[in-house]
Amino acid sequence: MEQKKIKIHPAYIAVWASVVAAGHLIPTLPIWGTGAAFSLANILSPLSGIFFGPIAGALCSAIGGFIGSFVSPIPPMLGPFTFIIGTVTAFTTGCIAWSKWPPVKVNMEGSFVINGGLIVYIIGTILWFTQSAGRNFIWLPVVFYGLGFIAMIAGFFLADKFFTSSKKVLKLPAIWLSAFGGLIGGATVGNFFYLVIFNPPAVDLVRLIVVSPLERALFAAAAMIIGVPLLEGLRKIGLSVGPDDGVTI
């Protein structure tokens, strides 16, 4: 199948980046053991990748996240560099939702595609094990990253079919799978910084095995609830967004 050539108007990026930046003004849940908090932007970042694809979506979250770190009422965990997590989230989500868009292509008696989301998970897992606390506690990446990996693989096979289906209700699981896989992809980077900065005891990491997947599942559900009406609403006013309606030239 011919892969999609994605070209998003810069105005789309500017407007959605502003929305992501504004999302930092609304805290939602505290981040365990950091004194920081999640915000509405954590729900909007996966939608960046779903609406505009991996590259344009990542750019939306990068710009919006950087600006948002300066207006957030609660100091973000990494200060102005917190945008890195949202950027990786948007990129990974976009790679899942726009599954026919691979950033890496290897020719092996034909064409073998390595999806960018898989690369994020591989790098994120390696980063975990570069830290002594991570090497001493392998269960968080096994369980947490494992759940995200399963969602990502399911998304690779199902999201494109669900987004292009005539049954609009299938967009609900398509967005949830893409967002859940993307949010955990971003968390692989956030967790690395968490280990570096806080060097948490094992007891905190045990709690995160339960807390972290539930948080991302809730954020993915919120993205699903917000995302489906937005997809339909934006199209009704003439904007091309989403993997089944993105600008292809």
Mean of the per-residue pLDDT values for the chain?
Answer: 84
How much is the average pLDDT of 112-137? 88
pLDDT of residue 243: 82
Confidence tier at 106 by pLDDT (50, 70, 90)? low
Q: Is the pTM of this model over 0.85?
A: yes
- Flag whether pLDDT at 61 surpasses 50: yes
Phi, psi of 120 (to 5 degrees): -60, -45
Tell me which of 65 and 80 has the higher pLDDT: 65
Tell me which of 114 and 15 has the higher pLDDT: 15
Element (H, E) at 196: helix 171-198
- Flag whether pLDDT at 124 surpasses 80: yes
Tell me which of 107 and 18 has the higher pLDDT: 18
Cβ neighbours around 189 below 10 Å, total: 22
- Return the minimum-mean-pLDDT range out of 4-8, 61-65, 211-215: 4-8
pLDDT of 207-228, one tens digit each? 889 889 999 999 999 999 999 9
The structure tokens listed for 231 are 């997809």
Please give the share of the chain, as a percent, with pLDDT higher than 70.
84
How much is the average pLDDT of 123-152? 94
Element (H, E) at 114: strand 112-114
- Flag whether pLDDT at 132 surpasses 50: yes
Element (H, E) at 134: helix 132-135
Residues 90 and 110: beta-carbon distance below 8 Å:
no
pLDDT of 167-210, one tens digit each? 889 999 999 999 999 999 999 999 999 899 888 888 888 888 98
Give all domains of the chain, ordered by start, each with its CATH number: 10-236 (1.10.1760)
Confidence tier at 247 by pLDDT (50, 70, 90)? very low
pLDDT of residue 233: 86
Confidence tier at 241 by pLDDT (50, 70, 90)? confident
Element (H, E) at 105: strand 104-106
Output b/e per residue, 124-159; b: 16+ Cβ within 10 A: bbebbeebebbeebeebbeebbbbbbebbbbbbebb
95 Cβ partners below 8 Å, 6+ apart? 49, 54, 101, 102, 103, 115, 116, 117, 120, 182
